[in-house]
Amino acid sequence: MKISTRGRYGVRLLIDLAEHADESHVPLAQIGERQSISPRYLEQVAVLLRRTGYIRSVKGASGGYALDRSPSEIVIGEVLRVLEGDILIVDPLRPGETESPLQRCIRASVYDRLNARIADVLDNITLASIIGTVDPDESYMYFI
Amino acid sequence: MRISTRGRYSLEALLFLALLPEERYASTREISAQTGISDGYLEQLFILLKKAGIIRGIRGPTGGYLPGRDPELITVGDILRSVEGSLAPVACIASGSCPSESECLSRHTWDRLYREISSCIDGITLADLAAAHQNQEKPEFAL
């Protein structure tokens, strides 16, 4: 029941880019150093995030990456769906697949509910709320 | 971010035990026949569940297992934790495990997620599951 390394690193990559948004772009090597993540691994994550329109790459010798959307439009649930494939707690039922009454009951009472609560939390956290650039009253960071 | 088969099979086996008539218990063989979960796998899970007090065993040739306490007092969280270990969505959440704990911004997100997961599964008891199963299996009368 874990978020994968890819998911965790992707979120840290986006946070780092948001924190350095004043620079036109940031080389992955710098982010790797600041975040203690291998640049080669970051590159893999960056490719996925670029392909899905979250970040853009700047080519050239001093190239790097920058956010391609406003932090308030980057929803963590969506980012994790890109990086993790989905954010479900069990495999969804395949079409035509049937379950025993016990399994059906547990799916409805536990898995479906858990999936809904997880999606609800992660779809209400934006990159802006993480770095604290939103109205404090709406930011979960002030939630105790 | 999946619950492992250990967790899923444990929930299924526990629900099966909770649905047994009062004073009844079931052997892993019976549970296996009803759920399709292998006998040997159930034995492995039951060692952990027994240690956690979630089930108890009745010895003897006609022995078997039953819930270790009132199903009202066994939560889905209890069951999952005893076979899956920590349910934290990231390992670094345990305090003191990360040197950048104080300045890590993503930590808040994982922390919030962990609290939500915990509160969800700690709020569902085995008795709730048994009741939901009984409702589900009640024949519906169409109007």
Q: Is 90 exceeded by the pLDDT of residue A144?
A: no
Contacts of A2 in chain B (CB under 8 A): 1, 88-91
What residue spans define the domains of chain A?
Answer: 5-85+126-131
Q: Which CATH class is domain A5-85+126-131?
A: mainly alpha
φ, ψ of residue B75 to 5 degrees: the values are -100, 160
Q: Residue A117 and residue B116: Cβ atoms within 8 Å?
A: yes
Contacts of B89 in chain A (CB under 8 A): 1-3
| Interval B7-16 mean pLDDT | 98
Q: Is 90 exceeded by the pLDDT of residue B98?
A: no
Pairing of strands B64-67, B55-58: antiparallel
Q: Nearest residue on chain B to A36, judged by CA atoms?
A: B100
Q: Calculate what percentage of chain B has a pLDDT beyond 70.
A: 97
| Interval B118-128 mean pLDDT | 98
- Give me the pLDDT at residue B103, please: 80
Q: Residue B1 and residue A140: Cβ atoms within 8 Å?
A: no
Q: At what angle do helices A112-122 and B106-122 cross, to 10 degrees?
A: 150
Size of interface A-B (CB pairs under 8 A): 105
Give A37's pLDDT tier (boundaries 50, 70, 90).
very high
Phi-psi region of B60 (alpha: psi -120 to 50; beta: other; left: phi over 0): left
Q: Name which of B36, B100, B120 is nearest A113 (Cβ-Cβ).
A: B120
**B21 three-state secondary structure:** coil
DSSP string, B63-87: -EEEESS-GGG-BHHHHHHHHH---
Task: Give the gap in angstroms from C-alpha A101 to the nearest C-alpha of chain B.
Answer: 7
- Name which of A3, A1, A142, A2 is nearest A79 in CA terms: A3
Residue listed under structure tokens 């911004």: B105
- Give me the pLDDT at residue A142, please: 47
pTM value? 0.91
Q: Name which of B35, B84, B105 is nearest A102 (Cβ-Cβ).
A: B35
